[in-house]
């Protein structure tokens, strides 16, 4: 947040909004669906590469796949969440949640929220809550 133009008051609003997400059933269902799409896409990518350098990642993902297939939520596999508060560019609230993620170990997982909409779930790649809608496109959601 430092140096991006967001105020402490705005950051506190984002934190309050973030803390209430767990109570929003529709939001949580959409998050789980998009995380599933992202995970399945990356799992296929890692396993189809067939290169020994990626074998360790594939091995680490096997328990995740087993858990996913048995109904475990993929949010259980995300670690060290960081709330990314972006300077407001329009009315409302916009922030990201960046987590360590076993199926995207290099780029982490980023979830972008604007007001009550989940705009993006994918690798952390410089997007923020105020990008154009087409910038949030992910092939795994098709």
**What pLDDT does 93 receive?**
92
How confident is the model at residue 142, as a pLDDT? 87
- CB contact at 8 A, 91 and 73: no
Confidence (pLDDT) at 2: 43
Give tens-digit pLDDT for 123-138.
999 899 999 999 999 9
d(C-alpha 33, C-alpha 38), whole Å: 9
Report the b/e string of 28-64 with b at 16+ CB within 10 A: eeebeebbebbbebbbeebeeeeeeeeeebbeebeeb
pLDDT (0 to 100) of residue 32: 95
- What is the secondary structure of 25-38 as a DSSP string? HHHHHHHHHHHHHH
Which regions of the chain are under pLDDT 70?
1-4
pLDDT at 1: 43
Instruction: Provide the pLDDT for residue 101.
Output: 96
């Amino acid at each position: 947040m430092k140096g991006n133009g967001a105020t402490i008051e705005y950051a506190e609003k984002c934190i309050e909004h973030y803390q209430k997400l767990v109570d929003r059933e529709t939001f949580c269902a959409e998050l789980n669906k998009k995380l599933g799409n992202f995970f399945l896409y990356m799992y296929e990518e890692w396993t189809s590469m067939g290169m020994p350098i990626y074998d360790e990642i594939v091995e680490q993902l096997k328990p995740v796949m087993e858990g996913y297939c048995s109904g475990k939520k993929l949010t259980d596999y995300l670690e060290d969440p960081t709330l990314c508060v972006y300077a407001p560019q329009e009315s409302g609230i916009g922030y990201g949640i960046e987590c360590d993620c076993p199926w995207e170990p290099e780029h982490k997982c980023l979830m972008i929220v604007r007001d009550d909409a989940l705009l993006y779930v994918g690798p952390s790649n410089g997007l923020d809550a105020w990008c154009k809608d087409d910038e949030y496109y992910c092939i795994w959601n098709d």
